[in-house]
Each structure stands twice: as C-alpha cells, then as structure tokens.
Amino acid sequence: MKRLIECVPNFSEGRDPAKVDAIVAAMTGVPGVYILGREMDADHHRCVVTMAGEPDAVAEAAILGAGTAMKLIDLNEHAGAHPRVGATDVIPFIPIEGVTLEDCVALARRTGEELWKRYRIPVFFYEAAATRPDRVNLENVRKGQFEGLREQLKNNHDRQPDVGEPKLHPTAGVTVVGARKFLVAYNVNLNTSDVAIANKIAKAIRFSSGGLRYVKSMGVELKARNLAQVSINLTDFEQTPMHRVYEMVKREAARYGVMPVGSEIVGLVPKKAIEMTADFFLQLEEFSPAQVFENKLAAALSGAALEKTENTELTKLARPFLDAVAGATPTPGGGSVSAFAGAAAAALGQMVAGLSRKKKSQAAFVDQLSGELDALRKTGEALTAAIDRDAHAYAAVMRAFKMPQTTPEEIKARKEAVQEATKGATEVPLEVVERTVMLYEQLGQLRAMSAASMRSDLVVAGLMAAAGARGAMANVEINLDGLSDAGYAQVVRSKLSELRGRLERAPKAEAPQEAPAS
C-alpha cells in the first residue's frame, strides 16, 4: 500500500518571488516529493506551498525549506496582514493514503526535534500534535505574533516552546508544527474597505465566537485592492462545507449594507468540496460524483463502480464483501456488518432525499432536503469507513492475544496490550452506535418531507439503521465483558443506555403510512 501525506508549509514571504523560488527549490530537491502548488499574497505577505509524497521525504523537504527560509526572511523587518510567529510559520502534516493521523503526529514531533537540532528554531506543536489543550488551536499559539511572543517568552512560563530554548530565533522566530485533517483556506472579499465590518462578520461565523463548527476566521484589509476580506479556515469541509460558510457570510454582510464581490481558495482543495458546493447551489437532480469526468475515468482505470445504473450487476458489487464475511476468519464480522447496515441505511436516505427534492409536491421542502442530503452523505461515509476500522480494531485484539507470555514481563505486556486493543475494538462500534442512532432520528424526521412514493424505501432505511445500531451495541457489550477497567466500562454502558433510549424514543421512519381518509 502506498503511504502518502500532504504538507502545507506557510512561509512569511509573499512579495519577493526570488526568495520563494529558493525555498521551493530546497524542497524540490528531495526525491519522492511533489510540489503541487504555491500561492503568494502581497497583502498577507505570506506564501503557502502544497506538497505531497512519502512521509519521511515530505518531512525532510519541509525541514530544508525551513532552513532556507531562516536564511532569507527576517521577521524584524516583516509586516503583513496575516498573523505570524515564524519565517516558516506553520508546518502541518495531513494523512492522505496508508497513513493515520497518529502517524502524522509522530512525524510532526520528529520534525520539530530536527528543526531545533539543525537550525536552533524553537517549535510549538498544535492541532492533533499539541502537547497541551491550550495549544490545539493555532491562534492561541500565535497570540501576540512575533513581537508579542518575543516579550512573553522572557517571563511567561506558559508560553515556553515545546522544543528548544525559551527564546525566539533572532530572525526566524519559532515554527508551529502539527498534524490535522485536510484544511480548506477559503476567503470571501467584500465590496467595502472597512475591515471592521469584515471582523464583525468573521466573529459571527467562527466557532470560537458561537458560529459555525469547524470554522476559524478573521477580518483582513486588502490594501492593494481597497477591499476588506473575511479570511476563513475550514478544518472539516465535510461537516461544514464551503457553500454553507459563503451563505452565512453573505447573510451577515447584508446586515451592514455590503455584499461579497468574490471568493478565493488558497492552495489546493479536495474535488469533493467543489462537488458538494456545485450540488448545493445548482440543486442538481440525481447528481452523482460519477458524473465528474475525472472520477469516471479513474473508476474505469481501476475497475471500480461509482454510479448506479440499470445495467449494473449488483451481485458482483456485493459479492466480495459477502464472501469476506462468510469466510472462516474472525474479520470482517458483526461489527463490520453493523456498520455496513448503517451505511446502506444512509445511502437509501440519500436516494429518498435526492428524489424527493425534485418532486413538485415537495417544493416547499427543497432547502431542507438539500441540507438533509448533505448530512446523510457525511454519515454514510463515516459508517462506510467504520466497516474497515472495525475489522482492523478486532485484528489488533487478535495480535495482542498472540503476544508471547513466557516471562512475567511478557505476561504483563501482553495483558496491557490486550486491554488497550480491546478498548480500541470497543470505541469503533460505539461510534457506529452513535452515528446509526443519529441516522435513525434523521430518517424519522425525513419522513415528514419526503415524497409519498418513497416511503417504502424510507421504511427499509429505518429498519437497516435500527439493525446497525443494535448490532453495534451487541459488539460494544461483548467487548466490555473482557475489560478490567470497571470505570471505563461503566461510562460506556451509561452512554449505551442513553443511546438505546434515544433509539426507542425517536420518530420511526418505518412506521406504517396512515391510511387515506374514506
């Protein structure tokens, strides 16, 4: 299996192409690293480079880029609209294929140590790699920027770096290194130069101020264009998509008599994010990712099937999974089947919402159905991923049981490994329970706005969601029986009891349709 990560280092240089060329050249020299793009912004005085490749090669490229930036950028002479604490301000690692977020955390830690060892640049860790809760959010680490942090390091113990001495590199400052999911940098420009309005809008939409989940934002003045900008980071574009953010910015802007005059994406964006936005704004009927040429071509080359058609041999699609379940091996087992049942329920829900959305009889519910469709897609994808995750989690339990136990030390290590792996095998089906119960509730609500002709499909979806939830509950309970941590088991059992109650109380998608009045 290929092991691929993305890395998006941010450098505090957006006005001198020669300096950026030199930084990129240093990174390009590492074999196996692919530079996918770079964005320079004079107002922000910042450059964002996107690269991908094998984890160790990408980390080495980031380190070399930071070394070159240290030589070329002096923060004492730097000023721009974007906050910064380092010449190489941020280095995030993002898992793409064959790599977990935990792998990226370990890579971030090694990279931080190497930056200090080679260049004496102090390092802070953030997001998933943070060593303290108050450093998860990047804005907390950058508070005060280069100048403010330089003063605080003199006497504020809470601001000490995670790696290196408690003082800034004299010209390169510090570097913030982390691991995170795919982030979309998305900016909306306004038809005003009043940055105070942009700041008010940013405050209204960002999560830390009570706005949208997974949104970070601030107001920025674009002096060169005489515009104000709402600068946005989407830390989970699937949970809070770009179109939802744009619509909220537009609505908030109207309160101050202004409006968006354009938006921009900084760096690269997943194709899925654009597909979701196109589907929302165009209200495409029966839209499928298979209608995107590149997706269809990739599917053809790989032999995968992306769309539902009359000519699809459904048995061939289902057979590999059914054969795997039927095989004389412990995985995939009941946990994977429970996740599959939930994923199938979400898929049926998507079909119901998508078809209902184009019915004239349901015109009053179009916006609601569009929102439900987005939510069902996210839930379905999470449950689909859980099919493999459950199998992998139980495989870890089996590996732990096979550990040697010939000495007291080995017996102790095996016991601890079994307990840890069993907890992991409990967490995955517990997440499936949470998602399928939420899905069951959503399907019940969908009943009121879906077309009458789709009710039987909704009934099946509800039954599948309930089956997925109850099956996953059984998997959680049997794993709890093997745990010695009574406190943990009690917490999980309490959560199961709450979820079981929600399942029983939820409006039922599979309730029989009322008979017509005579």
Active site residues: 82, 390
Token duo for residue 124: 């802070």
**Which residue is listed with tokens 């977020």?**
101
Q: What is the DSSP letter of 516?
A: P
Which of these, 397, 459, 401, 405, lies nearest to 429 by C-alpha position? 397
Q: Rounded to an integer, what distance in angstroms lies between the CA atom of residue 363 and that of residue 365?
A: 5
Instruction: State the pairing for strand pair 46-53/88-97.
Output: unpaired
Q: What is the DSSP letter of 85?
A: S
Burial of 244-264, coded b for 16+ CB within 10 Å and e otherwise, reads bbbebbeebbeeeebebeebe
Contact 197, 253 (CB under 8 A): yes
Q: Where are the alpha helices (DSSP H) in 255-365?
A: 271-282, 293-302, 314-326, 334-357
Query: Angle, to 10 degrees, between the axis of helix 366-401 and the axis of helix 271-282?
Result: 150
Task: Name residue 191's amino acid.
Answer: N
Q: Rounded to an integer, what distance in angstroms lies between the CA atom of residue 38 and that of residue 267?
A: 6
> Which contiguous run of DSSP H or E holds residue 64?
helix 55-72
Contact 112, 123 (CB under 8 A): yes
Instruction: State the pairing for strand pair 260-266/123-127.
Output: unpaired
Q: Rounded to an integer, what distance in angstroms lies between the CA atom of residue 256 and that of residue 347?
A: 41
Which of these, 497, 461, 502, lies nearest to 477 by C-alpha position? 497
Instruction: For residue 403, count other CB atoms closer than 10 A to its CB.
Output: 14
The residues, any chain, with a CB within 8 Å of residue 11's CB and separated by 6 or more, are 20, 23, 46, 47, 48, 49, 65, 69, 73, 87, 88, 89
Q: Rounded to an integer, what distance in angstroms lies between the CA atom of residue 184 and that of residue 295?
A: 21
